Each structure stands twice: as structure tokens, then as C-alpha cells.
Copies of this chain bind each other. A is one copy, B any other.
Amino acid sequence: MEPPKKKRLGVQDRLYPMPVPLVVGAAGDEVDLLPVAWISISGAKPASVAMALRKTRRTLELIRETGEFTVNLPSAGLAREVDHCGLHSGRDSDKLAATRLTTQPSALVTPPIIVECPYNLECRVLTEVDNGQYVVVVGEIVETHADEDILDETGEKVDVELLDPLVYIAGTREYRRLGEKIADAFSVGHDIPARER
């Protein structure tokens, strides 16, 4: 079979798919939040997240005041609210009031978690890496919360069907939901015999 023909597209800042959690910073009476698609787990010991924030973001300023933030994963039903938080700046707009999203206190950090997001991480900043227009914030995950009704039968693991996470697609700028399961990881690859070097 003829191999696919590849086209060079130049420099692009896209990976597929991306999560799109709401990241919350808070200091004094002020709480601000924004959707961050450029985020990933960045280590296991310590468990941490790395996320890229544009340096001009008000949420970043608040994160720097306390050294703490929360990461709140929305279900697909929250697309409008998440999108609203990306369209406005916390400098002049109260996104919580506009979206009617509500907060509850975190267990260990100052910024609250978002009640309507069924999965929440509490984080403390470990380091920042300057990256031009953006800064990469690495934060240790110090606590996790999940709505009881999205847990599987063990009561400890998230059932991703119940979480129904909102997914972001760059480029064409779409929100999607997750599709069906294809295979078990750390398992299906055993079908292929290893080849020694």
C-alpha cells in the first residue's frame, strides 16, 4: 500500500486532544478562574501538574500571591460556562457571578474548588519556567476531590463515562466529548511479540 502523503504545515502549537479544566487563583476577597487547555500531569513523586499561562493573566497574578491554585475538570454540560471564562478577563468581569458557578473551600490550599466541576485538584507551586509569552507553572498536587457519583465500584477511581469530561480541540476550536473505549492500556500491546535488539 502507498504510504500516506505528508504535508509540512510549519510551526503549530497543537496537540489532540486536550483537557480543558478551570484553574482557580484567589487572594483576599478576589477569586478568578480561567480554562487552561495547555496542562498536563508532570510527575508522579511528587505528583504534579505543569500548565502554560499567558503572562498577562489575572489568575496568574493571584496564583503568585498565594503560591496555590486549584484545577477543576468540567463535564461536557459546562461548555458554555467554561467558554465564558476564556472569553473574559477577571480584571473587569466577575466570571463566577456571570456563570453562576459556585465554590467550596479547599482542604489544604487558599483558592477554592468549583462545586459544579466533578473532579478537582489542589496544588501548590513548585516552580515557574519562563517561556516567552507564557510561563510554565509546575504545581504539586496535594489533594484530589471527586463527586461521589462519578466514582466506580471501588469508590476510589473516577469512572470516566460518569465524569463525561469536556474535551478541547485546538485549530478548529471545538469542544467535544469523549468517545467509546477501544482497548485496555498496559494490556493490548502484549498481543505483539517483543523483538530483541
Q: Cα distance A85–B191 when bound, in Å?
A: 12
Knowing A8-B144, A81-B189, A129-B127 touch, does A40 contact B44 (C-beta < 8 A)? no
Q: Could you say which of B40, B45, B165 contacts A39, with CB atoms under 8 Å apart?
A: B40
Q: Cα distance A146–B12 when bound, in Å?
A: 11
Query: For chain A, which range describes its interface: under 10, 10 to 19, 20 to 34, or 35 or more residues?
Result: 35 or more
* A95 surroundings in chain B (CB, below 8 A): 195
Nearest chain B CB to A46 CB, angstrom units: 6
Q: Cα distance A131–B93 when bound, in Å?
A: 36
Chain A 84-106, CB-CB to B under 8 Å as 1, else 0, gives 11111011111101110010100
A93 pairs with B185, CB closer than 8 A: no
Nearest chain B CB to A95 CB, angstrom units: 8
B131 pairs with A7, CB closer than 8 A: no
* A141 surroundings in chain B (CB, below 8 A): 11-13
Chain A 1-16, CB-CB to B under 8 Å as 1, else 0, gives 0011111111111111
- Sorted from nearest, which 9 A-B pairs have the closest CB atoms? A83-B189, A84-B189, A40-B40, A179-B179, A43-B134, A4-B147, A13-B47, A43-B131, A177-B179
